Amino acid sequence: MSFQNPVFIPGPTNMPEAIRKACDMPTIDHRSPLFGQILHPARAGVQEVLKSETAEVFIFPSTGTGGWETALTNTLSAGDKVLAARNGMFSHRWIDMCTRHGLEVQVVEAGWGDGIPTETFAEILAADKGHTIKVVLATHNETATGVKSDIAAVRRALDDAGHPAMLFVDGVSSIGSMDFRFDEWGVDVAVTGSQKGFMLPAGLAIVGFSGKALEAQSTATLPRTFFDIADMAKGYDNNAYPYTPAVGLMNGLRLACETLLTEGLDNVFDRHHRIASGVRRAVDAWGLELCAASPNLYSDTVSAIKTPEGFNATDIVTRAADSYGVAFGVGLGEVAGKVFRIGHLGSMTDVMALSGIATAEMCMVDLGLDIKLGSGVAAAQEYYRGTLGATLKAVA
């Protein structure tokens, strides 16, 4: 593996030098006011990235998975019912976590490549007259399949049914890269981690809680210690933590938020859309298809690309690592061996994406797939040349 090449996995993502350096700092006393100068701007920055005026932001030394656990254990009790769709590895793992915590999960099975079936959600919510469903879980961007779901439509399903269930959204591979609207969508808990849109190493679970989700603490009896947001909130009041914070990572997070907000969130989202669109042009030129079933589901942070029947897609990932020192993502779960993934989120440009597309092309030709060298690169080049305005806006 080469340290010179960018990675094309959908997290951890490439780190801008300045953000990497911000994580590398001398030891400070985390119970001193100096820590407050990192903690408070980091929390305020995350709130703004979530497009929220009110979300209470908590940052744990953990990963996105710890964020799921924070969401569940602070708001629910064993036996509580939650509604979730399974359409990929990450929604599957969140469901698995619920089951292990003794929650009753009503699972709506969806195709791996489909989005959240919001019409089915609407029917289930409308039929739940007794309001037994306490939470609806939604994975905004299924990183395993490159599928984006419509969170606003999930909110509408709740509202149309007049259903009071809370809405928890896994935004681990969307927040900071794709449009996410905590307040407008009526999200009650948003979950993410440091190593995707925030362009940091893994090591932080980042969550935003609505007022309603905060209130749910008073009745929630699931055991929680490390992830207790009440303990965390008490610490924040004193510029501190209930235990030792990951100070360097939080300093990186502070700068990552500043970087995203300086570029402008809408410019960040446009940049991701443009880069992703170029990758999709390449996939099309190769004569291949995305795992995502239709264009409205295409993710702007990761593309899962189906390879021909009988071909092991994982071989592309192995070849790229062994021969070219480049990392792509393998297929997970039901789509293992059937897709390979190009991650194109975080610190990414059109020029970087072209190198990934070129490398994928070399690997596919090396492995005997019927693909013409340069075909995908040329298609992406044409698209990038023709949409330069967007980049200039992002850089300005």
Ligand X SMILES: *Cc1c(COP(=O)(O)O)cnc(C)c1O
Interacting residues toward ligand X by CB under 6 A: 11, 63-65, 90, 139, 141, 143, 170, 172-173, 193, 202
Find the shortest distance in angstroms from Cβ 254 to ligand X. Answer: 19
Nearer to ligand X by Cβ, of 240 and 246: the residue is 246
Provide the minimum distance between the beta carbon of 139 and ligand X in the complex, in angstroms, as a whole number: 5
Query: What one-letter code names the amino acid at 17?
Result: E
CB closer to ligand X out of 182 and 286? 182
210-215's contacts with Cβ under 8 Å and 24+ in sequence apart are 210/54, 210/55, 210/56, 210/166, 210/182, 210/186, 211/54, 212/166, 212/188, 213/71, 213/74, 213/75, 213/166, 213/168, 213/188, 213/189, 214/56
Q: Is the Cβ of residue 71 or residue 363 nearer to ligand X in the bound state?
A: 71
Residue number with the smallest Cβ distance to ligand X: 64
d(CA 66, CA 335): 25
Which residue number, 28 or 202, has a Cβ lying nearer to ligand X?
A: 202
Cβ-contact 297, 178 below 8 angstroms: no
Residue 108 and residue 91 in contact, taking contact as beta carbons nearer than 8 Å: no
Min. distance of Cβ 204 from ligand X in angstroms? Answer: 9
- Smallest distance from ligand X to CB 395, Å: 27
Are residues 279 and 304 in contact, defined by beta-carbon separation less than 8 angstroms? Answer: no
d(CA 218, CA 236): 19
Q: How far is the CB of 15 from ligand X (least distance, A)?
A: 15
Q: Which is nearer to ligand X, 348 or 354 (CB)?
A: 348
Least distance from ligand X to the Cβ atom of residue 219, Å: 26
Residue 280: closest CA among 346, 334, 357: 357
User: Nearer Cβ to ligand X, position 330 or 364?
Assistant: 330
DSSP element (H, E) containing 170: strand 166-170
SS3 state of residue 66: helix
DSSP letter string over 294-325? SGGGB-SSEEEEE--TT--THHHHHHIIIII-
Half-sphere exposure of 330 (CA within 13 A, CB side): 12
- Compute the least distance from the CB of residue 64 to ligand X, in Å: 3
Backbone angles phi, psi at 76, to 5 degrees: -130, 165
User: 68 or 286: whose CB is closer to ligand X?
Assistant: 68
Backbone angles phi, psi at 274, to 5 degrees: -70, -45
* Among candidate residues 158, 99, 170, the one with its CA nearest the CA of residue 133: 158
Shortest reach from residue 185's CB to ligand X, in Å:
16
Identify which of residues 93 and 155 has a Cβ nearer to ligand X in the complex. Answer: 93
